[in-house]
Chain A
């Protein structure tokens, strides 16, 4: 287990390293100059050069990259804005805030959004999927299957604005979604996120319904499930012990992928509802050519994806005794 973790974490670090390089190169491919943004009204070549110097943009790209890596690992107190302990992504060009602090600041929003939605879609999606598989061929199954088919084809960028238009702008039943810290005001936290949760989990729940149903049905056709029935185990027991156990693998896989990418920032959801999470931060960093922030978000998102990959692979070992971690 330990060897597995070490090996996977090393792999993840290598991938993150490559990703940071790609992002770096990508950023310098952008024709937009962040200095123009900070330059203010009296912008002239001198002041641009000055800003370049302050930001270190006048150094060769390789050196800048080296500095970036160095700061990331070791921290730095070279920044004019103040000290920057590791992991140091530097200070945002746009807000002059520490990038790591900004990430941590935005993370609760994304985590609230993701966890809340994940709880909903996991229970509703899997519940409906299992019910459909249990009652396969009945009206319940057909309704659930058809419904899930249609709902999973919906897009947040349609459903989200539609919900906003109906519930917020037309009827005024709800406030526009907003994020309040759960520690500050749990009620506001809940009401502020309810629409995003519902919308996000509706679409995901439909996908999980489809997935749970089809993987349960697949499992129910497994011979070992039939064996269990043949030895007189009840339908319910076989369904929830034998078939469910086998269905867990694809479900956990997809759930890990989904959680990983959602924790890295649910871009369209956050954008649609104007929630100040990592996804919106990412969009912002691109619009502002804010390299430190972009690198920070990019690496953070990728770390989440990789972390959940590792968690999923480790989870396999708990689900399936045939899997050995190495």
Chain B
């Protein structure tokens, strides 16, 4: 079901500048153990109607980034630096009330586990209608009708009745559909889907992905799609950003990144992914070592402790001393030269991928 081919992305809707622009974002938390630098100088753009896939291991800062966009971090413990511009509006300094108006309205989020992400105490219909009432000022009845419509749109059979049900009365897939309905109820410009399919089984997963794609066509929203599953991302995303230890290490279109990855970490990710079309005998090779501590991140290139290619970089110890930068558009944050990256991938990595 995974494929590296990608249909043409949806056409850009009209509008000046990107829908979302993140510039030099730093997010750190105070904990009892020290300061955790969860996002460390991240920049990216998202155009309307496009889907940005963010991949990375746990703790690479994917989710934190997106919670920060929504302003759902705890201001007491968290320091945020940098800019988040939504339609040109600065969000990091925005007031709570302003953010509240944006959330669920212009920016909506789909969470990973719909069972825990939906309140067990209220009906599905009510939970969908709530943000609609809040953001559009609709009356209760109208909002309920809207909720029923949305449930129908996401493919819930007999939505009029099912809206009165509680989440625990839904199946897993239906719950995620309800979750999507809830996210889309106010026609958001930006939809952040945080591993929306991880908790679902494979057939349902495909349905949900299709649904998301269809809905994106209809509503024209920009989507940030977070996952650690490269197969899913290949299916969904127009562009890909690979994150490691709080920063982006590679970015490009889906085709570019998946067909010709240029960062040792991306290679590692591809390598560690089982594929249906690979030889049964081909061994999976996980990335050696464990993700770094964000309390005390490695110096220089964050990936250097796990990188098997650092000796090929010119200038001994450069990876340890100097942090490689990521240029906008297609690029990767690695001290290897572009030639080296291409050669290593073609000669050493790709054959292993089958």
| Direct contact between A and B judged by beta carbons closer than 8 A | yes
A322 to B121, CA, bound (A): 8
Contacts A223-B113, A229-B103; A321 near B120 (Cβ below 8 A): yes
Q: Mark A312-326, 1 if CB is under 8 A from B, else 0.
A: 000000011110000
Check: B264 CB closer than 8 A to any chain A CB.
Answer: no
Number of A-B contacts (CB under 8 A): 77
Contacts A226-B72, A246-B121, A322-B120; A232 near B113 (Cβ below 8 A): no
Q: Which of A137, A224, A233, A245 contacts B131 (CB 8 A)?
A: A233
Check: A39 CB closer than 8 A to any chain B CB.
Answer: no
Check: A242 CB closer than 8 A to any chain B CB.
Answer: yes
A242 to B126, CA, bound (A): 12
Check: B116 CB closer than 8 A to any chain A CB.
Answer: yes
Check: B104 CB closer than 8 A to any chain A CB.
Answer: yes
Check: A2 CB closer than 8 A to any chain B CB.
Answer: no
A13 to B109, CA, bound (A): 52
Interface size on B, residues (CB 8 A): 32
In the complex, chain A residues whose CB is within 8 Å of the CB of B134 = 231-233
Determine if A232 and B100 form an interchain contact, defined as CB atoms under 8 angstroms apart. Answer: yes
A10 to B349, CA, bound (A): 71
Q: Which residue of A lies closest to B66 (CB)?
A: A230
**Which A residues, 183 to 235, have Cβ-Cβ distances below 8 Å to chain B?**
222-235
Size category, A interface: 20 to 34
A105 to B125, CA, bound (A): 52
Q: Which residue of B lies closest to A244 (CB)?
A: B121
In the complex, chain A residues whose CB is within 8 Å of the CB of B170 = none
Check: B149 CB closer than 8 A to any chain A CB.
Answer: no
Contacts A137-B76, A226-B72, A322-B166; A232 near B102 (Cβ below 8 A): yes
Determine if A227 and B121 form an interchain contact, defined as CB atoms under 8 angstroms apart. Answer: no
**Which B residues, 66 to 120, have Cβ-Cβ distances below 8 Å to chain A?**
70, 72, 76-77, 96, 100-105, 108-109, 111, 113, 116-120
Q: Mark A240-257, 1 if CB is under 8 A from B, else 0.
A: 011001100000000000
Determine if B120 and A230 form an interchain contact, defined as CB atoms under 8 angstroms apart. Answer: no
In the complex, chain B residues whose CB is within 8 Å of the CB of A232 = 100-105, 131, 134-135
Check: B255 CB closer than 8 A to any chain A CB.
Answer: no
Q: Which residue of B lies closest to A135 (CB)?
A: B76
Contacts A230-B70, A232-B104, A321-B166; A224 near B120 (Cβ below 8 A): yes
Determine if B116 and A223 form an interchain contact, defined as CB atoms under 8 angstroms apart. Answer: yes
A244 to chain B, nearest CB (A): 10
Determine if B104 and A319 form an interchain contact, defined as CB atoms under 8 angstroms apart. Answer: no
Determine if B96 and A222 form an interchain contact, defined as CB atoms under 8 angstroms apart. Answer: no
A227 to B70, CA, bound (A): 11
- Across chains A and B, which 7 residue pairs bring their CB atoms closest together, nearest first? A231-B104, A232-B104, A232-B103, A231-B131, A224-B119, A223-B116, A230-B109
By a beta-carbon cutoff of 8 Å, the part of chain A in contact with chain B is 136-137, 222-235, 241-242, 245-246, 319-322
By a beta-carbon cutoff of 8 Å, the part of chain B in contact with chain A is 70, 72, 76-77, 96, 100-105, 108-109, 111, 113, 116-122, 127, 130-131, 134-135, 166, 168, 179, 182-183
